């Protein structure tokens, strides 16, 4: 969840730390800090709050002349946001920044306290620093100390470590949490993800589990578990510095909403064969693989899980393959039956989501084939899954996902078509129709919806004075409603819940009172009459209703207070248009309330802890 960055080389380190931390703030922004070497001394500057608070401290107490430093922006786990709990942490001769959670920190802390170690914070990170320092006091070798200490740690971590006496050297190790090395013209870097490194270089190397790396001005060496030394496998990312900038938009979220039409094309087009049929051979997945799939279990968290709920309808309707969706954090504790022919599909924007990774490993341990749908290349989930499909959404900086969810849904739609076609459930003609719908109709419809800002803003004005909002829908629209409710509450802080429209009268309708906002989604024509009946039930009790509905359905004036009409060039175009509308309504509501849209309180982008 936290963000870490480091540098060693010939340039001034502090500007690089501050630039990288400003990019990494979406991973956590409860506190921030840096540790910078100046000769044989290392100075630590840290504080509660965002990077602006640290910049203010550095103006009063500048750190100059440093060519080696580490930095951290925190999402609080052990201990609340405070100066004391902020990273970096020093213990003796060790200074450390950390992303992850040390699960057995209490036992380790008690053991170290018995040895006379006094702790200044409530964090598990200080315990990790103290344990490494304890091991270092024995071996006087950074590599041996890190290896000995981490062998006793349970949990997930990515560490950036400085040792007194090792000038210009940064040591790193990861287990369960992401970490990337990079090579620039003026030195070497480490960071939690590539976006923080784009201002400096595009050449990177993804660290593997339990590898230790030593970064120095003269190069990088990687040490494997058996003490073998290897050189980094440097690669060049296709991401550009511009892709991680706002590009003139007020917020990253708004920029990413507007990038969705093109993101769908990027996700779908590599999976279209020369004859216009679904073709995943570029992902190493042939038609025979799809023919062997008898049931699917989709495992994910948050919005990715909501994309999976859309996927159920697509896969079962088109391919007639039984499909279930499971919350990743629950999957291992009540695992479903996995008969022969089961495929476990894990979905993760970051490729590092801890609960999803644990579910993936559980499936593999039980001999079940796995497929990962991820955006980030060279991530743990991408590497460990038997097969992987990249969504090609590009960097997503806003904490609340938009194009990540959108591209996941588009890939699931293509998978449904591929299975249906491979098993003969749909004809060539129908398969091409689905593909063309995603490639052409969906982007055009979404572009059309992007021009309705005034409409979304008007609806948002009707929400901002209410404590409670409800979304309702049937079928795939219930799945869309769940994502809509999450978007609204996570960035505007208005309590919002989604309900299957037919369930209202089984209890929830008791919450409806005069003026209560209810937003109804109707993309499935066959279900509109039923949904309209539910709308009339809430309207008769005074609800303020907004209807997001297909444009080819005649809607009586008394049905809704506000109406958003959706393009109907194809079923997919209608669904993705509704998706864009609910994102824009959430965005405009949060904007009118003056919320920090890109960095909602208490949230972080990449959930790398369980």
b (16+ CB within 10 A) / e for 462-488:
bbbeeeebbbbbbbbbbbbbbbbbbbb
In whole angstroms, give the CA distance from residue 43 to residue 2: 21
Which helix (H) or strand (E) segment holds residue 158: the answer is strand 155-163
- Cα separation, 366 vs 369, in Å, equals 9
Residues labelled as active-site residues: 2, 605
Closest CA to 332 of 610, 116, 548: 610
CA 515 to chain centre: 35
Question: DSSP letters of 481-510?
Answer: HHHHHHHHHHHH--EEEEEEGGGGGGTGGG
β-strand pairing of 212-216 with 170-175 = antiparallel
Count the neighbouring beta carbons within 10 Å of the beta carbon of residue 58. Answer: 18
Write out the E strands in 10-134. Answer: 31-38, 41-48, 68-74, 89-91, 94-102
Tokens for 188? 């070497």
594: exposed, middle or buried (C-beta count within 10 Å: 0-12, 13-18, 19+)? exposed
Cα distances from 284 to residues 89, 414, 415, 445, in angstroms, run: 45, 15, 14, 31
Backbone angles phi, psi at 123, to 5 degrees: -90, 155
Under the phi-then-psi rule, with left for phi > 0, alpha for psi from -120 to 50, and beta for the rest, what region is 196?
alpha
Name the residue among 277, 399, 387, 314 with its Cα closest to residue 349.
399
> Phi/psi zone of residue 536: left (φ > 0), alpha (ψ -120 to 50 degrees), beta?
alpha
Helix, strand or coil, per DSSP, at residue 422: helix
Closest CA to 474 of 518, 508, 523: 523
Q: Report the distance separating Cα 70 and Cα 170, nearest Å.
A: 8
φ and ψ at 580, to 5 degrees?
A: -65, -40
How far is CA 421 from its chain centroid?
31
589: left (phi over 0), alpha (psi -120 to 50) or beta: alpha
- In whole angstroms, give the CA distance from residue 76 to residue 532: 45
H helix or E strand, kind and range, residue 290:
helix 287-291
Instruction: Quote the Cα angle for 6-7-9, to 5°.
Output: 170
Number of Cα atoms under 13 Å in the Cβ half of residue 46: 29
**How far from chain centre, in Å, is Cα 161?**
26
Calculate Rg over the CA atoms of the chain. Answer: 25
């Amino acid at each position: 969840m936290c963000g870490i960055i480091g540098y060693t080389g010939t340039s001034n380190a502090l500007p690089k730390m501050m630039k990288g931390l400003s990019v990494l703030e979406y991973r956590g922004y409860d506190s921030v800090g840096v540790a910078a070497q100046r000769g044989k001394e290392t100075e630590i500057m840290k504080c509660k709050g965002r990077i602006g608070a640290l910049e203010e401290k550095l103006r009063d107490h500048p750190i100059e002349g440093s060519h080696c430093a580490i930095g951290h922006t925190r999402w609080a786990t052990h201990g609340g946001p405070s100066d004391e709990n902020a990273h970096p942490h020093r213990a003796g001769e060790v200074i450390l920044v950390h992303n992850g959670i040390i699960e057995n920190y209490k036992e380790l802390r008690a053991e170290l306290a018995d040895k006379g170690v006094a702790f200044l914070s409530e964090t598990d990170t200080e315990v990790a620093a103290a344990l490494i320092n304890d091991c270092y006091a024995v071996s006087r070798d950074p590599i041996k100390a890190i290896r000995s200490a981490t062998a006793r740690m349970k949990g997930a971590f990515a560490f950036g470590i400085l040792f007194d006496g090792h000038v210009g050297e940064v040591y790193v190790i990861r287990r369960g949490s992401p970490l990337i090395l990079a090579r620039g013209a003026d030195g070497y870097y480490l960071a939690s993800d590539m976006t923080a490194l784009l201002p400096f270089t595009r050449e990177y190397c993804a660290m593997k589990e339990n590898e230790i790396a030593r970064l120095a001005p003269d190069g990088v060496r990687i040490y494997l578990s058996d003490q073998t030394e290897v050189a980094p496998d440097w690669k060049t990312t296709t991401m550009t510095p511009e892709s991680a900038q706002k590009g003139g938009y007020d917020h990253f979220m708004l920029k990413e909403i507007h990038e969705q039409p093109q993101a769908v094309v990027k996700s779908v087009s590599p999976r279209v064969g020369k004859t216009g049929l679904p073709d995943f051979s570029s992902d190493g997945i042939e038609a025979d693989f799809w023919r062997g799939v008898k049931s699917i279990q989709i495992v994910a968290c948050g919005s990715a899980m909501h994309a999976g709920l859309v996927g159920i309808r697509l896969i079962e309707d088109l391919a007639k393959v039984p499909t279930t969706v499971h919350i990743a954090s629950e999957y291992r504790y009540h695992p479903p039956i996995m008969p022969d022919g089961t495929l476990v599909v894990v979905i993760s924007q970051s490729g590092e989501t801890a609960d999803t990774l644990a579910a993936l490993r559980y499936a593999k341990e039980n001999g079940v084939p796995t497929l990962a749908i991820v955006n980030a290349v060279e991530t743990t989930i991408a590497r460990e899954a038997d097969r992987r499909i990249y969504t090609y959404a590009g960097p997503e900086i806003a904490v609340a996902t938009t194009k990540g969810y959108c591209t996941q849904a588009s890939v699931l739609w293509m998978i449904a078509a591929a299975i249906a076609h491979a098993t003969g459930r749909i004809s060539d003609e129908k398969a091409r129709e689905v593909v063309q719908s995603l490639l052409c109709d969906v982007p055009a419809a979404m572009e059309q919806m992007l021009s309705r800002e005034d409409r979304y803003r008007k609806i948002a004005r009707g929400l901002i004075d209410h404590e409670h909002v409800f979304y309702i829908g049937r079928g795939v629209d219930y799945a869309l409603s769940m994502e809509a409710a999450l978007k609204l509450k996570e960035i505007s802080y208005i309590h919002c819940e989604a309900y299957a429209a037919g369930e209202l009268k089984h209890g929830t309708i008791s919450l409806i009172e005069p003026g209560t906002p209810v937003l109804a989604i109707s993309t499935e024509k066959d279900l509109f009459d039923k949904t309209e009946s539910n709308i009339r039930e809430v309207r008769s009790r005074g609800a303020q209703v907004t209807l997001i509905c297909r444009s080819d359905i005649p809607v009586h004036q008394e049905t809704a207070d506000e109406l958003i009409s959706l393009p109907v060039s194809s079923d997919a175009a209608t669904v993705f248009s509704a998706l864009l509308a609910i994102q824009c309504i959430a965005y405009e509501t949060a904007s009118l309330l003056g919320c920090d849209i890109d960095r909602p309180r208490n949230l972080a982008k990449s959930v790398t802890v369980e």
